[in-house]
Chain A
Amino acid sequence: GQSLEQPSEVTAVEGAIVQMNCTYQTSGFYGLSWYQQHDGGAPTFLSYNALDGLEETGRFSSFLSRSDSYGYLLLQELQMKDSASYFCAVSTGSARQLTFGSGTQLTVLP
């Protein structure tokens, strides 16, 4: 089976940089995804890493090390609207279905 670990909570101030880590154990790994979910809302896709290295999209960056079974999501210039839960998910299987971690609750303080 698959297992993922994420810190349960992270707190940072507006304008700062925050890194949220994800470690995983899995077989048949294709890639690591990140999703954002505001309270009561639907998850929205942020990024996907299939290869080692850093992917950047605006204020968001995601990193993957396949050899270490580790990835992180980096958020820069934090804004209040970034307060949400962030989930990492591994893609496995013939359908590349997702297995999600338990998520990190990010709180951005003024």
Chain B
Amino acid sequence: DGGITQSPKYLFRKEGQNVTLSCEQNLNHDAMYWYRQDPGQGLRLIYYSQIVNDFQKGDIAEGYSVSREKKESFPLTVTSAQKNPTAFYLCASSLAGAPNNEQFFGPGTRLTVL
């Protein structure tokens, strides 16, 4: 089955620790995205990547880092510099040039920093 996987579903970390969230897709999509969602809010774009070895900052990139070494994978690191990291993190992918610009989302990782 094609899709996007994120792991783990729930993650707990102590304040001051870096943590890496996994995102893998087997849809052969070129573009991948990371969003953050806080309770009762919309999704905010952290980083996105249109091709391997290239990525751009979104609206709230401070305190986060990413890599795109493989087309299938786009891990997100939440660093200790992120002031309020507790949130629901969603990864998405899309086909470049798709006429409806549809993004496909993974199930999300809920990060709690204690």
Tell me the A residues contacting B by CB distance below 8 Å. 1, 4, 30-31, 33, 41-45, 47-48, 87, 89, 91, 95-103
Using a Cβ–Cβ cut-off of 8 Å, how many residues does chain B contribute to the interface with A?
A: 24
Question: A98 contacts which chain B residues (CB < 8 A)?
Answer: 33, 43, 45, 101, 103
Q: How many A-B residue pairs have CB under 8 A?
A: 56
Stretch from B20-28, B69-77, B104-112 contacting the other chain:
B104-112
* Closest 9 pairs between A and B when the two form their complex, measured CB to CB: A100-B42, A42-B105, A48-B100, A100-B43, A45-B102, A102-B42, A43-B105, A91-B101, A96-B101
Q: Is the CB of B50 within 8 A of A45?
A: no
* A8 CB → nearest B CB, Å: 8
Question: A97 contacts which chain B residues (CB < 8 A)?
Answer: 33, 45, 48, 58
Q: Is the CB of A42 within 8 A of B107?
A: yes
Question: A4 contacts which chain B residues (CB < 8 A)?
Answer: 42
Question: A33 contacts which chain B residues (CB < 8 A)?
Answer: 100-102
B82 within 8 A of A: no
A-B contact pairs, 12 of them (CB 8 A): A30-B101, A42-B105, A42-B108, A47-B100, A97-B33, A97-B48, A97-B58, A98-B101, A99-B45, A100-B43, A100-B44, A101-B42
- Nearest B-chain residue to A88, judged by Cβ: B42
B1 within 8 A of A: no
B31 within 8 A of A: yes
Question: A103 contacts which chain B residues (CB < 8 A)?
Answer: 41-42
Question: B105 contacts which chain A residues (CB < 8 A)?
Answer: 42-44
